[in-house]
A = this chain, B = another copy of it.
Amino acid sequence: MLKVPDHQVAGHQGGHGQPGPLIDDSGRFYKPLQDDDRGAIEAAFYTSFSSNTRVPDHIRRFFPVFHGTQLLDASDGSSQRPHLVLEDVVSGRSHPSVMDVKIGSRTWYPEASEDYIQRCFEKDRKSSSLRLGFRISGLQLYGSEESGLWKPERKLVHNLSTDEVRVVLKKFVSSNSPTDPNLNPDCSLASSVYGGSSGILAQLLELKSWFEDQTIYHLNSCSVLMVYGKKKVLKGGSSDAEVKLIDFAHVTEGNGIIDHNFLGGLCSLIKFISEILTSPDECTTKVYLQNSDNKNEEILASSNECTTKVCL
């Protein structure tokens, strides 16, 4: 039985005349192939990557397992269409917290159409991509039994300031309520989720080493997905935090050159996460996120005064 996943935080969702992804009970994720080049490019990437002997084994685990393509009824009932059959990287976790971070200060690439380049160029400048080398594309945070999941609207997370990004990365590993305006993120889960020999930071550093060397693929506009089962960690269990790379609709050949755009952005994300681990109590400034019409205000961070100055 296929169903629409409730844990998707970014990417093409169903609705608005577009079929979206599906999942089953056995841990598979079915992603409809996009009609234009993007579908073909993503399928070609998964096919190439699966059989590429130059990819080291310890790097494969950062990519969803690929089970080929399959004709399926689209999620919107429109017609049969080919789907990528992938590992569902979120399944099997109780109350998962998920964050999708699009890597790279530039989401376009020389081979793209002029129109696409211009659209990406503007989006990169308006979002945090150009400044930080990455942007948060979507997230869901598990709060508590009472508050359940917190999943801010996409348009709220797309244009975060540097301070807001820092706060969201702290909220991701905090046990207190992500939506209470009187609480600073406590970062109490940082050491078990971001830290440790198998935590998210260690995984990102392993990926970084590979990107310093690999010249096979340029992962334009690709995301790092960070996911962990929060309920288990809250109860004192060990963390199952995982990093996965997703979204390969704009991959190009490396042609003997490293993906310096991805690598630079990845190093920037690593720096942000390292700082949370070494100085979780650093200044959290008052951060509000507003919709562009200024009416629908959503509070992303609490308003405690900054007491420790960030020493750069």
Contacts and interface: CB of A to CB of B under 8 A. Distances in A.
Interface of A: 54, 105-106, 110, 125, 130-133, 162, 212-213, 215-216, 254-258, 260-261, 263-265, 267-268, 270-271, 310, 312
Sort A-B residue pairs by CB-CB distance and give the 8 closest, nearest first.
A264-B264, A260-B264, A133-B260, A260-B268, A258-B271, A263-B264, A215-B312, A258-B268
B110 A256 contact: no
Nearest to A268: B260
Which of A133, A255, A257 has the most C-beta atoms of chain B within 10 angstroms of its own C-beta?
Answer: A257
Given A216-B312, A312-B254, A105 B260 contact: yes
23 contacts: A54-B312, A105-B106, A105-B261, A110-B130, A131-B257, A133-B258, A133-B260, A133-B261, A162-B256, A212-B267, A212-B271, A213-B271, A215-B271, A215-B312, A216-B312, A254-B312, A258-B267, A258-B268, A260-B265, A260-B267, A263-B264, A263-B267, A264-B264
A254 B271 CA distance: 13
B310 A256 contact: yes
Tell me the number of copies of this protein: 2
Given A110-B131, A216-B312, A271-B215, A162 B257 contact: yes
Nearest to A310: B256
A216 B133 CA distance: 16
Contacts of A271: 212-213, 215, 257-258
A278 to B, nearest CB: 11
A262 to B, nearest CB: 8
A132 B254 CA distance: 10
Contacts of A265: 260, 264
Contacts of A106: 105-106
Nearest to A266: B260
A131 B261 CA distance: 10
Contact of A312 (B125, B212, B256): B256
Contacts of A105: 106, 260-261
A276 to B, nearest CB: 13
B268 A257 contact: yes
Contact of A261 (B54, B216, B258, B264): B264
Contacts of A133: 257-258, 260-261
Given A54-B312, A133-B261, A261-B264, 16 more contacts: A105-B106, A105-B260, A105-B261, A110-B125, A132-B257, A132-B260, A133-B257, A133-B258, A162-B255, A212-B267, A213-B271, A216-B312, A256-B312, A260-B264, A263-B263, A264-B265
Contacts of A257: 131-133, 162, 268, 271
